[in-house]
Amino acid sequence: MKDYQEKMSREMKIRHFAESTQDMYLKVVDRAVAYLGRDPQEISSEELKDYVLEIEAENNLAASTIEIHIHALKFLINVALNRKSDPFIVERRKRERPLPVVLSREELKRAFDQSENVKHRTLFLTAYGTGLRIAELCNLQVGDIDSKRMVIHVRMGKCRKDRYTLLTPELLRQLRAYWLKYRPTGYLFYGASRDLPAQTDMVYHAWKRTYARSGLEKKVCFHTLRHCFATHMLEAGVDLRTIQVMLGHSSIQTTSMYLKISTQRIAVAGSILDLVKFC
């Protein structure tokens, strides 16, 4: 490992960066170093800014992608290399904020019905029925399913925070059917072995294949299931603060985005909302 990579890895681990963030930052910096052909200590901050503008123009990258490049380069220069004489300073950019795509419950059922097997169907239903991020889903343990309190314990989510989200009767039924077939003991959705979690890439591509077979034309990704969870909860009358807690958002402003997406508001009547009743 090169000197700058070792320093970045050390500083990111000290700060408890997620492994996915560590990998992303290292890839961004490695690409910049290869492009400019010199050691980072020899590259000025102005050259790095020019580099960012060049790759943005050449590859027509989205504002969110460029922001990741900026954060990675800023971390390299200002933190890992601690270069005080020539820091990398870029003011926060204005980001494009298009509203996320949301599928109706009928569209979700159409997609879920194309699942290749019980495991994939349960993965998708759990993601939609709980609002979990893909990494949180893969890291679920069997013991995190609390059927007595009807909640799911999300451990070490984004920013290393724990929280609870709901467990509906229909999702519990689906999870029990899955357990009887696969008998997981540690990780609920295990990967190559029972001691390893399912890989996020596997889950992502499984959903991509499943959705493609549905024939639906909306452009979605796996994270769309989380958006569907929040939007459908809001439309069923669940208050924004409760949705914020279940999603694990630090700020209510982030959750309030779903107010713009929701097209209807229906009062909650009688019982707990069961998002996956059609499974």
* Active centre residues (catalytic): 133, 158, 223, 226, 249, 258
φ and ψ of 217, to 5 deg: -100, -10
How buried is residue 250: exposed, middle or buried, by Cβ count under 10 Å (0-12/13-18/19+)? exposed
Buried b (16+ CB within 10 A) or exposed e, 60-70: eeeeeebbbbb
146 C-beta neighbours (distance < 10 Å), count: 12
- Which H or E run contains 173? helix 169-182
225 C-beta neighbours (distance < 10 Å), count: 28
- Rounded Cα distance between 260 and 98, Å, is 11
- Which H or E run contains 105? helix 105-112
